[in-house]
Amino acid sequence: MRRLIFSIMKLHRNLVDAVIEGLTFIFNEGQYADKVVEKQLKKDKRWGARDRAFIAETIYDIVRWKRLYAEIAEVYEPFTVHNLRRMFAVWATLKSIALPDWGNYFEDTPARRIKGKFDELSKVRKLRESVPDWLDTLGAQELGETLWTDELHALNSLAPVVLRVNTLKTSLEHLQQFLRQEGVETYPLRDYPDALQLVERSNIFKTQAFADGLFEVQDASSQKVAPFMQIDDKVKRVIDTCAGAGGKTLHLATLMQNKGQIIAMDIYEQKLQELKRRARRNGVFNIETKLIEPKQLKRMHGTFDRVLIDAPCSGLGVLRRNPDAKWKLQPEFLDEIRTTQQEILQQYSKLLKKGGKLVYATCSILPSENHQQVQTFLASEVGKEYRLEAEEVIFAHQSGYDGFYMARLIND
């Protein structure tokens, strides 16, 4: 249906200009795609939902396929406005959208040559899937050629919109009915008890159900982390050591039924402030936020029944949501983040009580950030008191959702 809409649509110059300007900010100035899209959508109040959808989806699409489109257009970074118009022309031609005659806005763009180059370049994985050379090599080394090929292809697909029902306020069935009354159709997911997936993408944040705190947007894979921690009636104190804006923290609060205590820590105050706002909307009051301070950590050693380490990582498992990440990611950063991951494991594992359980999770699919980190920890002096109870690797091409990793360790 989406391709049909694109094929019969007429391009409007002000919308195309907004796309080109947005791509300039992302590619040449290194700005984050989500922030750029948010800013571009506010440029003209007269734009309707269809106009805004065109701008957002086109920017993300060209960002996702940057390398392939640039190769076809024969343009190189840093991209000029003329270069970006050529890349847009490639995008439009491959979508079977007629290019308008706007003077010299678009160079002569023969459809046959573009499609011929597309067919030729698509035979090479790193061009077909549009990734940097080093990342394609790394993925194949860590996962093997076949698994990497399948996973990389899945990571270039559009991510579905999945909601997590706030069971403190409503049930899955009631939320589904409520959203239907607001014109939003959803369906439940097998093996994800609190999840509803949107049938069609829409601005879910404008619904009354969202304002009332009846749900949070949270990918299905991310929804598996909190239950993996095995929360039960004996669990009184939980700490989310890298809480961010608190998606998993809020899920933990619902599993604890607003009882006990959850400490949510992060190094960024603004993220913790956002968590507080979300907690109020969700009707959650058993969360306490703390900025990470080394002295404070020492006082908390051995005091928690459960520890969640949702570690900073490469984010390769969520490229569908953040396609610009593959262009920002560098090999040196991966080396640094692996060091950070191990330091966090060594440091935050000390917060766990004897007999407690620690979950280490990432939104990466690389073994060097996941299983290998756990094994390195278990072989260390601090880790010798722990044992691996369970682990799970979630691949996008198998699940249909984000790539993720979880390991549950017991402090014996």
Q: Which residue has the tokens 């009580």?
A: 353
Q: Is the dihedral of CA 308, 312, 313, 314 positive or negative?
A: positive
Output the DSSP codes for 139-177.
Answer: HHHHH-HHHHHHHHHHHTSPPPPEEEE-TTT--HHHHHH
Assigned token pair, 398: 């198998």
- Kind of pairing between the strands at 352-362 and 261-266: unpaired
Annotated binding site for S-adenosyl-L-methionine: 266, 310
Provide the terminal-to-terminal Cα distance of the chain, rounded to the nearest Å: 55
Q: How many CB atoms sit inside 10 A of residue 191's CB?
A: 8
Angle between helices 49-64 and 13-29 (to 10 degrees): 40
Q: What is the dihedral of CA 234, 236, 240, 246, to 10 degrees?
A: 100
Q: Sign of the C-alpha dihedral, residues 268, 41, 314, 188?
A: positive
- Cβ burial of 325 (10 Å; 0-12, 13-18, 19+) is middle
**Other beta carbons within 10 Å of 162:** 23
Which among 249, 224, 227 is positioned nearest to 363, based on CA atoms? 224
Give residues with Cβ within 8 angstroms of 222, minimum separation 6: 247, 248, 363, 402, 404
**Residue the block writes with tokens 């991310």:** 222
Active site residues: 363
Q: How far apart are CA 324 and CA 313, in angstroms?
A: 15
Q: Both tokens of residue 320? A: 């569908």
